[in-house]
Chain A
Amino acid sequence: MAREKGVVLLDFWVSPFGQRVRIALAEKGVDYEYKEQDLINKSEHLLKSNPVYKKIPVLLRDGKPISESLIIVQYIDEVWSNKAPLLPAEPLARANARFWADFIDKKVYECGTRLWKLVGEEQEAAKKEFIEIFKLLQGELGDRKFFGGETFGFLDLALVPFVAWFYAYETFAKFSMDEECPKIVAWAKRCMERESVSKTLSDPNKVYEFVLFLKKKFGVEY
């Protein structure tokens, strides 16, 4: 892999948003410096690079920062356009990919968080919503190999990091993604055959431990 000058990623190991960027960089064969961030005591570097949101991931290229994972991925796709195109070429297909990526951004993480933060009836409601969200995504996938069609692309990358969280969600909210959305689980397995994905996604057991740590921190019964 050619070492690209001055590409730095400020990230947090388990963040699905950061992982989107890592997968994109891996797909493109871009070498970069990974800088793990402490999200409780945020570094000067992070605060200067993303003063508006103070969040990871932040990609810096020759010192110039870009924030928001999907924006970063689109930037990467454009700059390193010679390899592994992520967004489709055709405007309507691009618009469709952006729409669904926006849908994922608005719904998946927030609903997933409610699965472990809430209990009882509220958790049941969150579970129903979570399954509904993935059933819609399953409908969009249809019988295709990837959301991008025959090739792994932008939308696959936008969703796949959340797959590592399925085990934690299933365990805490008591349901099975394999039963509820088998096509999504099959799609996830296909994605994991790609090195960029399998080397990036967190071990589901580690994610489970992390969520357990968050539950203790927020005083949620477990």
Chain B
Amino acid sequence: MAAGKGVKLYGMWASPAVRRVEWALKKKGIKYEYIEEDLSNKSFELLQYNPITKQVPVLVHDGKPVMESLVILEYIDEVWKGNPILPKDAYERAKAQFWASFSEDKCRDAVRKVYFAEEEDTKMKAMEHLMEIIRVIDQELKGKKFFGGESIGYLDLVFGWMAFWLGIAEEVASFKVVDSKKFPNFTSWINNFINDPLIRGNLPPRDKTLEFFRNFRKLHLASCK
């Protein structure tokens, strides 16, 4: 394959991990070509660039691929030095990376458990667990507009999926955990985040996303039976 110059991003419109990379690219002012993938019929190029996990997002920089959204964020930060995303201090960076892994492992898992729960009992337990997790996030946000302080930083980009896709999950799977009385800091953060100019123009359309995830959930539950 000829190594073209420049930046390409292979993505899927509904994917939060893909949007995360787009927000980072925008924050850095990096121009890129976006290629939409049909995940039920993956392109030859995607499979060539990422034969291991075959997933999006894949960032291709001067013909060389980088996979996994958090790895891509660190890569972008190391190559394009302006508008730094991650903290410079080693300890602060380790703390940020820890919270990022908390988002990807514990938070995602907790949301999935509620989202895919079919029995009331299971669902209630899963909701309680998820609210415990949100409580932790709420505490972290105390006294802050964003995780990054006054402006969007690394952890805002990392947790950004919760600002939009958690609401989608709530509607699709009929549950409610985002409570402004219980979690005032988290709820304000959601509003600040989705209304920020960096994010506002770069979220998928709500109705289309609801439909997509309704189908996705239906298919997943059917395949488990």
Residues of A at the B interface (CB closer than 8 Å) are 52-53, 61, 64, 66-68, 71-72, 74-75, 78-79, 91-92, 94-96, 98-99, 102-103, 136
Contact = CB atoms under 8 A, between A and B. Distances in A.
A95 B71 contact: yes
A7 to B, nearest CB: 13
Contact of A52 (B64, B75, B93, B102): B102
A95 B58 CA distance: 12
A74 B68 contact: no
B44 interface: no
Nearest to A90: B78
A222 to B, nearest CB: 30
Contacts of A64: 91
Interface in B4-49: none
Interface of B: 52-53, 61, 64, 66-68, 70-72, 74-75, 78-79, 90-91, 93-95, 97-98, 101-102, 106, 136
A70 to B, nearest CB: 9
28 contacts: A52-B98, A52-B136, A53-B106, A61-B91, A66-B91, A67-B98, A68-B97, A71-B94, A72-B94, A74-B94, A75-B91, A75-B93, A78-B90, A78-B93, A79-B90, A92-B61, A92-B75, A94-B75, A95-B66, A96-B66, A98-B68, A98-B74, A99-B68, A102-B70, A102-B71, A103-B52, A103-B53, A136-B52
Contacts of B68: 98-99, 102
A99 B49 CA distance: 13
A103 to B, nearest CB: 7
Nearest to A140: B52
A66 B94 contact: yes
A53 B105 CA distance: 11
A68 B98 contact: yes
Contacts of B97: 68, 71, 74
The 4 A-B pairs at the shortest CB distance, nearest first, are namely A91-B78, A95-B75, A75-B94, A78-B90
Nearest to A71: B97
Contacts, number: 58
A99 B90 contact: no
A68 B102 CA distance: 10
A102 B52 CA distance: 12
A6 B7 CA distance: 44
A100 to B, nearest CB: 8
Contacts of B136: 52
A51 B178 CA distance: 23
Contacts of A52: 98, 102, 106, 136
Nearest to B67: A99
A42 to B, nearest CB: 18
Give the interface centre of A74, A92, A99 by most chain B CB atoms within 10 Å.
A99
Contacts of B64: 92
A204 B66 CA distance: 35
Contacts of B74: 94-95, 98
A92 B61 CA distance: 9
B66 A92 contact: yes
Nearest to A100: B52
Contacts of A103: 52-53
A23 B180 CA distance: 46
A64 B136 CA distance: 19
B78 A94 contact: yes
A53 to B, nearest CB: 8
Contacts of B93: 75, 78
Contacts of A61: 91
Max chain B CB contacts within 10 Å: which of A79, A92, A94? A92
A72 B79 CA distance: 23
B72 A66 contact: no
